[in-house]
Amino acid sequence: METITIETQPTSEKNAYLVKCRVGNFDLIGINRGISLWADIYNSSNTVFDGQYVQIEGDDWTDWPAGLTEEEDYNYVSSIILRQLGLSKRFKAYFTSYPSSQTIVEGTDVSFSGAAEGYPEDFTYQWHYNGTAIPNETGQSYSLTNVQISQTGTYALHATNVYETITGTAILEVLEKAAPTIVDQPVDTAIVSGAYGQLTTYADGVPNPTYQWYKDGVAVQDETSTSIVFANMQPENVGSYYVVATNSEGSAQSNTVSLSIVE
């Protein structure tokens, strides 16, 4: 009995996931009747690893349905080429736009989105929350309004064609609102005349607080960051300073500190 030996084993590099045809619509005569074209064969990394000359002829040619769209014509040609080349694999699906993990403050809005490509190109979508399908959420995007702490979790988009399902997962972290608290107090500081120096603070809070520095009880114009900087220390800078951190939940005032000058 004859032993059949496979000369070349398939590999991940030589495993056709997609065949793209350079269709020229050349109507040839006689034995060359049909569409003659070159087929580029792609692997799962979307890289061309081979190419072959092929024709559509015989029953494939005479039975070609009339009135197809350009996409339907392409799918018809591609299916014939795959069969002629003895290939059954299709282009492996992948996300061209992946759902992104996000961290938001409770009470705000959030949106996730994703999109897949592959062959066949017809995908259906379904959003899941913590592993459970969300009813009626079958689009490429999913939005939530006035998000609450209880909605923290995993949001996944399942994209499915006739051959496979791929999943894109995003984590949503929802932060509970909290009034500011000063965690890094400014300290008494002496700066050499004409030199550089600063007072610094930091406050926790959700949402992130804004800052306003005060000198001798009066708000300092445009000083609204975590530090108040003195690039060229002068006598008029001397005084008592504090900062107020504010968000939607309240405010916090730092210790009052003394800024002095060293001649």
pLDDT attached to residue 15: 61
Does the pLDDT at position 6 exceed 50?
Answer: no
Residue with the bigger pLDDT between 172 and 90: it is 172
Q: Of 208, 205, 203, 103, give the one whose Cα is nearest residue 149.
A: 103
Residue range 156-160: mean pLDDT, rounded = 95
The one-letter amino acid code at 77 reads: V
Does the pLDDT at position 119 exceed 70?
Answer: no
Class of domain 94-175: mainly beta
Does the pLDDT at position 90 exceed 60?
Answer: no
Residue range 180-203: mean pLDDT, rounded = 95
pLDDT attached to residue 92: 64
pLDDT attached to residue 208: 93
Stated pTM of the model: 0.57
Cis peptide before 180 (omega within 30 of 0): no
Dump pLDDT digits (tens) for 65-76.
777 777 677 767
Would you place residue 78 in the very low, low, confident or very high pLDDT band (cuts 50, 70, 90)?
Answer: confident
CATH number of 178-262, picked from 3.40.50.300, 3.40.50.720, 3.20.20.70, 2.60.40.10: 2.60.40.10
CATH 2.60.40.10 boundaries in the chain:
94-175, 178-262
